[in-house]
Amino acid sequence: MERQSDMQESQSLNLEAREEPLSRADRRRSLIAVIACITVVGIGLGSSIPLLALLMERRQIPALLIGLNTAMPAIATFMLTPFIPRLLRRVPVIPFLLACVAVSALAMPCYYIFQNVWLWFPIRFVNGLAITGLFVVSEFWVNSLADEKNRGKLMGLYGTILSCGFAAGPALLYLAGADGALPFLLIGSLVLAGGVPLLIFGRGLAPSIKEKPSHGFLTFLLVAPAATLAGLIYGATETNIFNMLPIYALRSGMGEQAAAFVLTIFAAGNIAFQFPIGLIADRIDRRAVLLVCAAGGFLGILAIPFTTFSMPLFALVLFVFGGVVVGLYTVGLTLLGQRFRGADLAAANAAFVMMYSTGALVGPPLSGFAMDLWNPHGLIVAMGSLCGIYLIVAGWRYAKASPEAQGAL
């Protein structure tokens, strides 16, 4: 299956569609441009999120208000993602990404200049719009570069490097500190630097969209339910792990240091498994890989309560669980890229990010309610139920599709 060959070529940022396929060298330059851009932005995002949370906690902002403020990017995602394919028909990809980089970078000093927490709500909303644009379009770009021999590998590489960027964010914050204007200026400058690879490596090499999507935004849930819903399940799982699992660990008798360390273990599994899963997805039926990741996630969640008595065993299970469940994101995106092209691919990527945000919003409240009903194992019931339902959906789609129906998820 050949990659869509309509690419942008230009000598300025007003790029015209290019007719010939990219050479191997141009593909490499294009991939470097988009991955370098989103990784630098990821480092900035990975440091800005804890910075804002820390400063609000210092000022004794009520937890409810902190939570509502943290939810603003997700709200922005819901509002922007349906319109991204339409925007990309009017604005070329690189100018669009550069505008998003600039907006996100300028938001950082605004947090410092405007200290009133109520002003942080619109700032964070606008920043969320920019971040949403960056992630949806960068994933669309990487998927557009891939062919069926290397699609899983490229998506795994993208996810691995991005995860490393997020992991480096807290280290940057540790070095810069949380006092004064320095961290805001440093993070803003770093995000702004994300535009440099686009200008150096990406000009004339970004994908373009000329046509309208043939599917409505939400119809991807019906057209490719298992691939699209993979984003929702991973969004709920990842957000629950980072928000609720430390609480579960404490209530299960672990110390505070061990409870904090669980996040590092889960993130390490994310980083270690994405690329190998992508390679496997290029060699065997991707539907089967997605099904195995769903089954592994379900069994991993059920195993957690039986390992809390031993930190090494708990760490091993969580590491493998974090690595397998991230395959839902990697393989889900890979399957969408396998099935869709052009405007449909952009719309499918947008729907996938929308599902991820839905899971991130729904997951923690659902798990918190379950933990109140059954302390602490309600978390396992809630997460296991979500993964179990998804496992049924993925298994049904796998059983229904014929061996020749690649991408039928």
Task: DSSP for 143-203, please give it.
Answer: HHH--TTTHHHHHHHHHHHHHHHHHHHHHHHHHH-SSSSHHHHHHHHHHHHTHHHHHHH-T
Q: What is the mean pLDDT of residues 106-120?
A: 94
Euclidean distance between CA atoms 284 and 327, whole angstroms: 14
The pLDDT, as a whole number, for residue 409 is 54
Average pLDDT, the chain: 85
pLDDT of residue 121: 94
Specify burial of residue 243 (Cβ count, 10 A radius: 0-12, 13-18, 19+). middle
All structural domains of the chain, each given as residue ranges with its CATH number in brackets, are 19-201 (1.20.1250.20), 217-400 (1.20.1250.20)
Residue 294 confidence (pLDDT): 95
Burial of 142 (0-12, 13-18, 19+ CB in 10 A): buried
**Gap between the Cα atoms of 143 and 138, Å rounded:** 9
Is residue 400 over pLDDT 90?
Answer: no
Residue that wins the pLDDT comparison between 212 and 110: 110
Weakest mean pLDDT among 4-18, 40-54, 93-107, 189-203: 4-18
- pLDDT confidence bin for 101, thresholds 50/70/90: very high
Alpha-carbon span 264 to 277, nearest angstrom? 20
pLDDT band per the 50, 70, 90 thresholds, residue 360: confident
Distance CA 63, CA 110 (A): 22
What does the pLDDT look like over 163-210, one tens digit per residue?
Answer: 888 888 877 887 888 888 999 999 999 999 999 999 999 888 888 888
Amino acid found at 213 = P
pLDDT value, residue 41: 85
pLDDT of residue 20: 55
Average the pLDDT over 296-322 and give the result.
92
* 231: its two tokens: 């984003």
The answer on pLDDT for 63 being more than 80 is no
Across 64-78, 140-154, 210-224, which has the greatest mean pLDDT? 140-154
**pLDDT tens digit string along 242-291?**
878 888 888 888 876 677 678 788 889 999 999 999 999 999 999 999 99
- Structure token pair of residue 254: 């672990």
Report whether pLDDT(303) > 90.
yes
Confidence class for position 6, pLDDT limits 50, 70, 90 = very low
State the pTM of this model.
0.82
Binned at pLDDT 50, 70 and 90, residue 1 comes out as very low
Asked if 343 and 213 count as a contact pair (C-beta separation under 8 A), the reply is yes
Question: Which of 119 and 4 is assigned the larger pLDDT?
Answer: 119
- pLDDT at residue 14 is higher than 50: no
- Highest mean pLDDT among 69-83, 252-266, 369-383 belongs to 369-383
Q: Does residue 11 have a pLDDT over 70? A: no
pLDDT at 204: 86
The first and second tokens of residue 218, run together, are 């939400």
